[in-house]
Amino acid sequence: MLRDTVRALAEAKIAPFAAEVDEQGRFPQEALDALSAADLQAVHIPEEYEGAGADALATVLVIEEVARVCASSSLIPAVNKLGTMPLMLSASEDLKRRYLTPVARGEAMFSYCLSEPEAGSDAAGMKARAVRDGDYWVLNGVKRWITNAGVSEYYTVMAVTDPDKRSKGISAFVVEKSDEGVSFGAPEKKLGIKGSPTREVYLDNVRIPADRMIGEEGTGFATAMATLDHTRVTIAAQALGIAQGALDYAKNYVQERRQFGKPIADFQGVQFMLADMAMKLEAARALTYQAAAKSERGDADLTFYGAAAKCYASDAAMEITIDAIQLLGGYGYTRDYPVERMMRDAKITQIYEGTNQVQRIVMARNLPK
Ligand SMILES: Cc1cc2nc3c(=O)[nH]c(=O)nc-3n(C[C@H](O)[C@H](O)[C@H](O)COP(=O)(O)OP(=O)(O)OC[C@H]3O[C@@H](n4cnc5c(N)ncnc54)[C@H](O)[C@@H]3O)c2cc1C
């Protein structure tokens, strides 16, 4: 039911703009408008903060169905979850009420600022600094690769409050776009997800009230990692959606394309490729939904399953989208067909929220009992 609703909305209101958004590298405003009108822009926010109160699996379904037609647009619900999850996990009641409610109403979006130019996989090596000054914290530094930067009103920012303690000296804060000293770099020129702005966030003596700290001082890195346990499941969902879009397109194409006097779908070489694509997709889906259930329950083994779902589904999406191009032959290699965009979009799911090498490190350290 939820899947059908989102699919209908995505096909009617998001799919028609997907190629143009990619070609022009512009923000998919039509998607934001359509998702917000249907209360789907941040479905994960609980009802007590005026949200839809969707559980982790329902959130996965929304992201999956949007990504099936436009991966860039799927970053609207996905990054709203990424940005707000630190608050949901660790913030005071007051902070939650102040910042979750506008996101639930569709009045603001939320980004997540962990990475820096010199701190990617080794995120704890960050340099951004927060220094206490009476009832305020003063933030300085550069956050890099921030999805939806400039479009989002609010930012969860991780910064060092005690340089001697490495990861235990990092704290999390809510920063507003309108805070004095906040500015943004030029949009990155990317391979894919071109409709999702990725920019640096500059913090230049940004002075924020002390009550904008999320949780206790020194808990920011733990909150950031706990967030990723939950949100890697949403990246898996994005990968599933992209792969499903490519498989659906290829499935129809092979029925229509004729060579040697018959549809290419009649050739066993083509059928076996489709069978493998569907098999990988369904295996990825089963793991992702299992991880979503663990995310919802807060199971102790979520760290393994979140990493495994993200890693497996993104690798599957890469293989499936490459095979979809193969099934379209030369046509698949052109921008006249959507599968090359899907392949370019799939690639990022192997990189962000921790590269797939990092996922394997996380899995190895958290093997299921
Ligand atoms: C489009 C886009 C959007 C993003 N959005 C956000 C966002 O919203 N917020 C945010 O905070 N970040 C975001 N990121 C950052 C992203 O999470 C990082 O790019 C990613 O974690 C990798 O860091 P890096 O780019 O510095 O690569 P590096 O850490 O320099 O890695 C380079 C290579 O070395 C490998 N490597 C590194 N360490 C190890 C190791 N120990 N063992 C084996 N291999 C290793 C990596 O896997 C990779 O292949 C985004 C990135 C992109 C490209």
Q: Which domains does the chain have, with CATH numbers?
A: 2-104 (1.10.540.10), 110-217 (2.40.110.10), 221-365 (1.20.140.10)
Query: Does residue 347 have its Cβ closer than 6 Å to ligand 1?
Result: no
Average pLDDT of every residue of the chain: 98
- Please indicate, yes or no, whether the overall pTM of this predicted structure exceeds 0.75: yes
What is the largest distance, in Å, between two alpha-carbon atoms of the chain?
Answer: 79
Which ligand 1 atom is at minimum distance from the Cα of 121? 29
Q: What percent of the chain has pLDDT over 70?
A: 100
Kindly report, residue by residue over 4-52, the tens digit of the pLDDT. Answer: 999 999 999 999 999 999 999 999 999 999 999 999 999 999 999 999 9
CB atoms within 10 A of CB 133: 10
pLDDT band at 75 (very low <50, low <70, confident <90, very high): very high
pLDDT band at 231 (very low <50, low <70, confident <90, very high): very high
What amino acid is encoded at 126 in this protein? M
pLDDT band at 84 (very low <50, low <70, confident <90, very high): very high
Residue 208 Cα to ligand 1 midpoint, Å, equals: 28
- Average pLDDT over every residue of 209-213: 98
Query: Does residue 75 have its Cβ closer than 6 Å to ligand 1?
Result: no
Give the residue numbers annotated as catalytic, written as ranges.
353
Residue 111 Cα to ligand 1 midpoint, Å, equals: 17
- The token duo for 91 is 């913030």
- pLDDT score for 125: 97
Q: Sign of dihedral through CA atoms 308, 68, 199, 91?
A: negative
Tell me which long-range contacts 292-300 makes (C-beta under 8 A, separation of at least 24): 292/55, 292/56, 292/57, 292/59, 292/60, 292/233, 292/237, 293/56, 293/57, 295/56, 295/229, 295/230, 295/233, 296/55, 296/56, 296/57
- pLDDT score for 134: 98
- pLDDT score for 95: 97
The whole-angstrom separation of Cα 278 and Cα 50 is 38
Query: Does residue 114 have its Cβ closer than 6 Å to ligand 1?
Result: yes
- Protein residue with its CA nearest to atom 30 in ligand 1: 120
